[in-house]
Amino acid sequence: MRRGTNLPRVGDFNQMVVLDQIRRAADGVSRVEISRSTGLSLQTVSNIAARLVTRGLVVEGERRVEGRGKPPRMLRLDPRGAYALGVHVDPVVVTAVLVDLDGERVERRRIATPTGPAALVDAVAAATRTMLEAADVPREAVLGLGVAAPGPIDMANGLVIHPPLLEGWSEVPLRDALAEATGFGVILEKDVSAAMVAELWRGNRMLRGTSIFVYVGFGIAAAVAHDGELFAGSSRNAGEIGHLMVDGDGPPCDCGNRGCIGVSAAPATLVAQAVARGVLDPSTPQGSPGELDAALTRVCAAAADGDARAAEILRTAARRVARGITTVADLVDADAVVLGGPSWERLAPAFIRGIRAELAEHATLREMHPVEVLGSAVGEDVGAIGAASLVLDDTFTPRPSGLVASVTRPAGP
């Protein structure tokens, strides 16, 4: 097994710069425009463009009349020129997707999370095979496989350390196991960071300024991006805000404190409160992540149907989460907060107004600029699409060193 090698490159740095320009131009871009904006000579740009067209990554569009002379031909990305695979590992469900070069989902598989890492690796390998068959995409057209898993992650060795609620998981070499099982180069990243990259890749408004992604699932984590780049931290594990204390009278946490942000909105907490207040029957199964998830859905449904006790439980949780988000938003001087993750769609109706109000009334920086609060633009597959986006991001974004340390490829035959 070779280590630290990169995904298959689409060419040298200049080629990535040109490809990046083409990707960002929704209506196509001419060779002259690329030359002007990159500082590369027109001849260099033309040579690179010819190579990209030959490889099927770029197509020549219509001529656009601008000024005198022969109108130039516009260059565009060919969305079906290459593909990326993405997998999101969550305690309840594993989601696998195949996306095209635009990050558009082509295929999706959802599998109840198998017990133990070996079964999960087999299930993911099978899902990638069936997706490629269903979409009639040859293996050679796939740039790589991105994997989003609960943090923290040992990026140097590709290990998922000890994710809560995943039975039998401790220092699992998930990156190398998946590379071996699928034959693709693999990038492993924290779920929240992958989700942020998905938003950066799909949601243009977040490419500028400072934004936070808040991942709401069995735990709560955050990712920060500035000017379209994820802030990863020194071990690529930035954003572990789960034990940020938001209410000294809040529910007890495993860490020994009370009212940490993570436990305040954890499915187990909300379900236990719902049972205590008679929203759910005491016999409600709560043993497994899947049972807790199903019970959380019922609490949210009860609140939506007008159950005042359920609504109060969610309102209190929202207030606690909002307090933590306000602190993080002030810490990084954020313009936007985006929320997503496995529990978000269900909690959003009860949460989003409270979070907006808390930021508008209590953020220290509220007088400097407003903070926009949004639901994920990518939706419920944000983890898996984010994982695939990591591959696209590593392929397209010209930077001296990207996610190289977290990448591996299987050894050749």
Which tokens sit at 400?
Answer: 């001296």
Rounded to a whole number of angstroms, the minimum distance from the CB of residue 214 to Zn ion is: 17
Residues 284-303 as x/- pattern, contact with Zn ion by CB under 5 A: --------------------
Residue number with CB closer to Zn ion (72 or 164)? 164
Rounded to a whole number of angstroms, the minimum distance from the CB of residue 338 to Zn ion is: 24
In 84-217, alpha helices (H): 117-135, 174-182, 191-202
Residue number with CB closer to Zn ion (161 or 377)? 161
Nearest to 85 by CA among 129, 130, 135, 144: 144
Residue number with CB closer to Zn ion (117 or 262)? 262
Residue number with CB closer to Zn ion (55 or 258)? 258
Rounded to a whole number of angstroms, the minimum distance from the CB of residue 248 to Zn ion is: 12
User: Quick check: helix, strand or coil at residue 9?
Assistant: coil
Which tokens sit at 368?
Answer: 């400097």
Contact 215, 293 (CB under 8 A): no
Peptide bond into 289 cis (omega under 30): no
Residues 114-143 as x/- pattern, contact with Zn ion by CB under 5 A: ------------------------------
Contact 225, 209 (CB under 8 A): no
Rounded to a whole number of angstroms, the minimum distance from the CB of residue 111 to Zn ion is: 31
Rounded to a whole number of angstroms, the minimum distance from the CB of residue 175 to Zn ion is: 28
Residue number with CB closer to Zn ion (260 or 347)? 260
> In this structure, are strands 186-190 and 407-409 parallel, antiparallel, or unpaired?
antiparallel
Give burial (CB, 10 Å; 0-12/13-18/19+) of 366: middle
Write out the binding residues for Zn ion, residues 236-265 only, by CB under 5 A.
243, 253, 255, 257, 260
Contact 381, 108 (CB under 8 A): yes
> Number of residues in contact with Zn ion, rule: CB under 5 A?
5
Residue number with CB closer to Zn ion (34 or 317)? 317
Q: List contacts with Zn ion (CB under 5 A).
A: 243, 253, 255, 257, 260
